[in-house]
Amino acid sequence: MIKEQYGVSVIMPTYNQGAFIRGALTGLFKQTFENWELIIINDGSTDYTEQVIAGHLRDARVRYFKNEQNRGLGYCLNLGIAQARYTHICYLPSDDIIYKNHLQSLYGKLTATNNAVLSYTGACFHNTDSYATGLSTNRTLGNVPDQCLQLVQIMHKTTACRWSEREVLVTADLDVMFLNELRQEGAFVATGKITCEWVNHPFQRHKIINKKEGGSIHFYKNYYGVDQRLKFYSDGVCLDENKIPVNLSEMNTAPGKLKIIIVGELGFNPERLAVLEEEGHQLFGIWIRNPDIHNAVGPFAFGNILELDLDNLQSQIAGINPDLIYALLNTQAVKLAHTVMLSNPGIPFIWHFKEGPFFCRNAGLWNDLVELYYNADGRIYINQECRDWFEQFIGDHERPSYILDGDLPPANWFTSTRLPLLSAEGNCIHTVMIGRPYGISPDDIAVLARHQVHFHLYGKFYQTKWHKWVKAVNELVPGHLHLHEHCKPDQWAEELSRYDAGWLHCFTSKNQGDIIRCDWNDLNLPARMATLAVAGLPMIQKANEGHIVASESILRQLNIGVLYTSYDDLAQQLHDKPSMEQKRKQVWENRMCFSFDYHLKDLTDFFNQVIASAQ
């Protein structure tokens, strides 16, 4: 097709956005730049999209294509480029909004700039509205923070460059999909104007893909109806399902090793299971559908866990002939674990549960949870306090049980490089929080700031979720709150060793030493305990003497806690350098007990004990 020079081809990919698409079309039909065409690519929508757009299709400037099944964003955009009549390409995702000067602004800048191949406009983004805070609108003249340029922001000239399609790679990173290649063709130039809105809602494509936004490969496949194997890139990790299928009947384990089916999800630090594989055990995975951000499920970028198909489980399980079913870990896994247990009564079954019994009661899963514990051939509790609490409801104390936290990281993350303390120079103390600032108010930070205690918060996800808290602290005590990017596990020891101590969850227990009165704060072992242990950091937590608190029991047993009665008391302890140095020494000497590898032999002995007792 010979393309025309003067004009703009607007490509609109859409999938099940009937509630949004009229708004996108309204903005386009109000453009001051009139020489445009619209190419709508319906990517297999099953909603009422076609009813909404029917009237617009009578306009001669609009052409419509529909895929019988969802083919993915890259395919749709490439189809649009192939069909375009004009040499200038613009994109209008059907959930976004453009203002009346959008096309004119982009086209004018692109055609007026020598060597330019792409122009981009500013955008409104992350609009929120609530009774508590009112309307909040963010604006940018370029990239949305922590994002690449978005489709709605750009116009480019037609080149030989094409978008990566689903068969090659699934990613939310448009730089990787297309823009990095296009940069080789010319300059990207800014209009300096805000002429569009990147509309914020839960089903934006990047939120379906990126784990930090709640996405996952399973969410993506379920949402778009994908049944093919994918190469899937999310938050810096690439998962490749395109491995050679394994014939289950041909799989054999080494003598003395086990075939273990893992059921559910793995919570934090799923890499620990690679340690079982390194020991020669063969692992198979049956994962929950629709995991949330804290549920780790396969496929994984590590190890060789073979995934089983939820729709054809029993024949696959029979083909494996496993030694053991090991089900875990949090509330979201309860239903699946319960189903698998009841469907396979002849296979030894172990139930390992962490968070949490109170969630299960609230969600109507208590019956399933109690039955899992009561019927399992082996039970794993995260600590003695949890065992004591559950046994009030389960009884049957004679069945094999074991104590093991559910989120322990692998030992290879326990590197030995440490950096000098930030507090080595001057009289300031530096503390670190990995994750949400649980139980600590801005006023508490202000008290500590008066004692020259600083607070370092890691992780963009939690900084964003707690943005009001961050703002309040900065207004109260400017310069005492420091924000950092996410720290990768293999950098925990080096990066976090600079701090004097790290925060656990801070709360006031009310159980008065009575196990039946314990709540989840009392029973929990926060996953950050192991993270802080890797770096050899003493752990800060409010003292709850006279109450049952599982995390405090460990801190006292190992003498690795900074247990405070008030924030003035905490500041005084943190400034006691000899005492803090002794605690750091204690953490470093005991840190390996917070690794999965440390417990591996006892765990496999427990597996074999359960297998023997079940027979």
Summarize pLDDT for 203-262 with one digit per residue, the tens.
Answer: 999 999 988 787 888 789 889 999 888 999 987 778 887 764 445 445 556 778 999 999
Whether 502 has a pLDDT exceeding 60, the answer reads: yes
As a whole number of angstroms, the distance between CA 590 and CA 602 comes to 18
- CA angle 208–212–215, rounded 5-degree value: 20
pLDDT tens for each residue of 432-490? 999 899 999 999 999 999 999 999 999 887 888 898 999 999 999 999 999 998 899 99
pLDDT tens for each residue of 265-282? 999 999 999 999 999 999
As a whole number of angstroms, the distance between CA 227 and CA 221 comes to 7
Give me the residue label for tokens 């604006």.
139
Q: What mean pLDDT do residues 318-322 have?
A: 94
Backbone phi, then psi, for 321, in 5-degree steps? Answer: 55, 60
Give helix then strand counts, H and E, for the chain. 24, 24
Residue 605 confidence (pLDDT): 97
Residue 245 confidence (pLDDT): 47
Residue 379 confidence (pLDDT): 97
pLDDT tens for each residue of 31-75? 999 999 999 999 999 999 999 999 999 999 999 999 999 999 999
Edge to edge, what strands does the sheet with 324-329 contain?
A: 306-307, 282-287, 259-264, 324-329, 349-353, 378-381, 401-403
Backbone phi, then psi, for 306, in 5-degree steps? Answer: -85, 120
What share of the chain in percent tops pLDDT 70?
96
| Beta pairing partners, 560 | none
Torsion sign over Cα 108, 109, 114, 116: negative
CB distance 25 to 50 below 8 Å: no
pLDDT tens for each residue of 507-535? 999 999 999 999 999 999 999 999 999 99
- According to DSSP, residue 486 is labeled P
Query: Other CB atoms closer than 10 Å to residue 316's CB: what's the count?
Result: 17
Element (H, E) at 232: strand 231-234
Residue 244 confidence (pLDDT): 47
Report the mean per-residue pLDDT for the chain. 93
As a whole number of angstroms, the distance between CA 615 and CA 605 comes to 16
Scanning 93-216, the segments in alpha helix (DSSP H) are 102-112, 174, 180-183, 205-209
Q: Which of 62, 528, 518, 487 is CA-nearest to residue 294?
A: 528
Residue 253 confidence (pLDDT): 63
| Domains delineated in the chain | 4-208 (3.90.550.10), 243-403 (3.40.50.2000), 412-594 (3.40.50.2000)
As a whole number of angstroms, the distance between CA 258 and CA 267 comes to 23
Whether 353 has a pLDDT exceeding 60, the answer reads: yes
Tokens read off for 316: 């696959």
Residue 132 confidence (pLDDT): 44
Residue 129 confidence (pLDDT): 53
pLDDT band at residue 1, thresholds of 50, 70 and 90?
Answer: low
As a whole number of angstroms, the distance between CA 545 and CA 559 comes to 15
pLDDT band at residue 131, thresholds of 50, 70 and 90?
Answer: very low
Residue 293 confidence (pLDDT): 78
As a whole number of angstroms, the distance between CA 221 and CA 231 comes to 12
Q: Are strands 561-564 and 134-140 parallel, antiparallel or unpaired?
A: unpaired
CB distance 477 to 449 below 8 Å: yes
Instruction: From residue 425, give the alpha-carbon distance in Å to each of 242, 430, 535.
Output: 52, 11, 20
| Beta pairing partners, 561 | 539
Whether 389 has a pLDDT exceeding 60, the answer reads: yes
As a whole number of angstroms, the distance between CA 599 and CA 380 comes to 13
As a whole number of angstroms, the distance between CA 231 and CA 608 comes to 37
Whether 503 has a pLDDT exceeding 80, the answer reads: yes
Residue 127 confidence (pLDDT): 65
Q: Which of 80, 105, 75, 107 is CA-nearest to residue 91?
A: 80
Q: What mean pLDDT do residues 90-113 have?
A: 97
Whole-prediction pTM: 0.75
Q: 398, exposed or middle or buried, with CB in 10 Å at 0-12, 13-18, 19+?
A: exposed
CB distance 250 to 256 below 8 Å: no
Distance of CA 276 to the CA centre of its chain: 24
